[in-house]
Structure 1
């Protein structure tokens, strides 16, 4: 008789087991889900490796100093160091220029030392030499004006006060600017024999280069007077050279035909602002991808009046004795050797110079606003 009901008993036990199991699961599952929802998420650092917890390296600036500009160099260094530390940077590395190396070698060493920005503390000549080592690289140039003219700093509207200039160099924005490349001397033809004589010299300029009277003014400026009164010393020298000798020139602009004329000076500029707020090339910009050239040929002292009027009124067009050319390249040949200056430094005499623009080849730190 039990055999007859055994299948039904087994089936009932299975059903009972399923019912009991379902009840248990319905009570445990919600509780487990709620527990999982309430469990806090591990902190982000829990998933990091030990290497990721290393602090970021401290940034460091390299400062190339022209020591002849300062009577108390240790104090200047301390001010720069204090500003760097106050802005969250490490102590800067300092490099001093020499007569043999006015900045290019020191800037290259700073880059090798791994600095984040290379700063110049000197005049436009120091800026030019340091920039020559940075052209074509991504390393930014910071300008700490300490010269008489500080023309590039003025054209970029950079602060002149030391602490403010350091702060801009550390925290400012990067701006790509053009660089002028000047070849002094005739460039030999491709098939010309190499006799080793009159090898052309290549220089970079950031502000202006020129031949003739403007180079004579730079060479004739009294250094003692410049130290006492600043940029007006150039004006004193300029008055002495108003009647400088004329010379004949042949000028070739880009692909145009060469033209000839008499001149007293030729200025090739990457930017247009001069000392004392004067503007020689009103439309010149440091990032327009071109050069501006001014050819001046006034006759006598009276002939400089329209030239001075044009500069004072910032007019691009003026008297016929003042030509203004905009170009990518320019070549100037003279009938005799004349003085040549680059960013205020007289480098000698030449009877031929060629200039071309290298667009956006230098990174400079400028103010954010």
Structure 2
């Protein structure tokens, strides 16, 4: 569901304050301490090297490049661009105009917030421009150029189709970098000034883009909709295709409800039933009622809690399931490659393929046979998700977990005993234990980069940083090695990284016993404190309808998991025989 304007404005405001605080914090750290330690001590040498190699030609070239980030030029270019976007000939692209204008303005606002606190002198070399009264940190020219020209590049990429659009986008993206180099050459900024100017502008574009420019469905060529409708109608007459939609009514409004119904109709699903969740039934009962209608597709509209409840009811049903990300974290949907916009996610699923993924079952004190689809854990992460209130999540989205995380950074660690598969018990200390069927957290953090939802094993990470430097080492390791930087571990084997702050394992069954009761969570839903948590993988338990671009759908099944299908003689609504094992249903498209 696209957030209301009021909620979006609150989210933007909170994220802007957070970005300003992060820039200010680093600026204070830089000017008071980091400038005295390597590699930051090399900054003066870089400025002197630029000054030593100046020439008349480069002086002139960098002057004009620097002017591209000048306040007057940026304001004029922004005004002209916004006016063009609002012309009737372009269909009055109001959201795009708001995105660009607000990005440039809010970048300046954050810049002024930071420079009001940070007072960093300009480099100690000859300046080729008059020095503005503001601090050298961060670079205002670079930040403004990033917001303007980077914003225009984003609009080019999302509004046009064809490979040709990458050429103007690349040119526009290169402008802020050239402005940054020009500012260094002209002696106006230190290297970290222009770096954080780039980050300031890029952060604003990310915030505004996610708030104002949701992903869209692939545009239809003329006549395509009619083709889909007629083909779908034929399919309904021949096979009686039907869909069931499980809806969390607190996050799906009437407009999205109608849009989902119309989209399903265009793809041939004229028989659509609706099943709402309630406070007493978060989805398990609703999806079981939906499954009784023997639909060809089940669509789940909600967050991770709704998806988890529905996964329990759909396990081994063999019914293709599409997930529309309508919650706060949408962890499973993001990891499976669904677009963030619910309607775009529905279209991508309808034009995608079926693929079976694993589920997890969890037991422990107070937990019996609970299922999860994305992640489960105990300690720090469970405390964070439990402390992020519904009101905060409604206001600022997944950033609520960041706010909650700051509160729990100083929580004490825990002692636990870990047993993987049939291996020996391992005694450990940790701040957090996370078991993942998928690997990427909110914000795109690849904590478990080798986790796959269809490989028949879980990836496990123990986080135990020793002090602030331990946290930094862990963060640096995770962010610098996002994809398959190490050989995947065989089941039951482990490996330590970041000076022991991170320890990884893989296993099919994980049993954890804690010395004292610890907070626990399944798919981001708190399940209460306890001293025991046992998780086991259920391979191929859930048949998903995935986008064709999903990294899970587009990759081959792991070696050794494919077996000949055992046919039941039951037909799946497409004229195909259905396998008794949902892992063997193969891939098919629902679209046409």
**Both structures adopt the same fold (TM-score exceeding 0.5):** yes
Q: Do the aligned residues in 2 keep the contact of 1:117 with 1:169 (CA within 8 Å)?
A: no
How many Å separate the matches in 1 of 2:452 and 2:378?
21
1:365: which partner in 2? 545
> Is 1:233–2:400 an aligned residue pair?
yes
Q: Higher strand proportion, which one?
A: 1
Q: Do the aligned residues in 1 keep the contact of 2:349 with 2:548 (CA within 8 Å)?
A: no
- 3-state SS of paired residue (2:467): coil
How many Å separate the matches in 1 of 2:348 and 2:249?
22
- 3-state SS of paired residue (1:311): helix
For 1:175, which of 355, 362, 368 is the aligned residue? 355
The alpha-carbon deviation at position 153 of structure 1 amounts to 1.1
The alpha-carbon deviation at position 261 of structure 1 amounts to 1.9
State the TM-score, normalizing by the size of structure 1: 0.78
Q: Where in structure 1 are there 5+ consecutive unaligned residues?
A: 1-53, 186-197
Q: Do the aligned residues in 2 keep the contact of 1:120 with 1:142 (CA within 8 Å)?
A: yes
> Is 1:69–2:256 an aligned residue pair?
no
For 1:157, which of 333, 337, 353 is the aligned residue? 337
Q: Do the aligned residues in 2 keep the contact of 1:243 with 1:301 (CA within 8 Å)?
A: no
How many Å separate the matches in 2 of 1:58 and 1:160?
30
Cα deviations by residue, 1:150-202 (Å, 9 ceiling, x for unpaired) = 111111111222222222343421001111111123xxxxxxxxxxxx6x512
RMSD of aligned C-alpha atoms? 1.7
The alpha-carbon deviation at position 347 of structure 1 amounts to 1.0
- 3-state SS of paired residue (2:404): helix
For 2:421, which of 254, 257, 280 is the aligned residue? 254
The alpha-carbon deviation at position 57 of structure 1 amounts to 3.8
State the TM-score, normalizing by the size of structure 2: 0.49
- 3-state SS of paired residue (2:448): coil
How many Å separate the matches in 2 of 1:171 and 1:220?
38
The alpha-carbon deviation at position 122 of structure 1 amounts to 0.5
How many Å separate the matches in 1 of 2:370 and 2:271?
32
1:10: which partner in 2? none
For 2:314, which of 115, 124, 134 is the aligned residue? 134
How many Å separate the matches in 2 of 1:55 and 1:207?
37
How many Å separate the matches in 1 of 2:526 and 2:421?
26
Q: Do the aligned residues in 2 keep the contact of 1:59 with 1:115 (CA within 8 Å)?
A: yes
Give the paired residue count: 301
1:208: which partner in 2? 375
- 3-state SS of paired residue (2:538): strand
Give the greater-gyration-radius structure (CA).
1
- 3-state SS of paired residue (1:244): coil
> Is 1:356–2:523 an aligned residue pair?
no
How many Å separate the matches in 1 of 2:237 and 2:247?
31
Greater RCO (Cα-Cα under 8 Å, separation 6 or more): 1
The alpha-carbon deviation at position 274 of structure 1 amounts to 0.7
For 1:306, which of 469, 473, 476 is the aligned residue? 473
Q: Higher helix proportion, which one?
A: 2
1:79: which partner in 2? 259
1:56: which partner in 2? 238
The alpha-carbon deviation at position 75 of structure 1 amounts to 1.7
How many Å separate the matches in 2 of 1:201 and 1:55?
44
- After TM superposition, the structure 1 stretch with the greater mean CA deviation from structure 2, 300-309 or 330-339, is 300-309
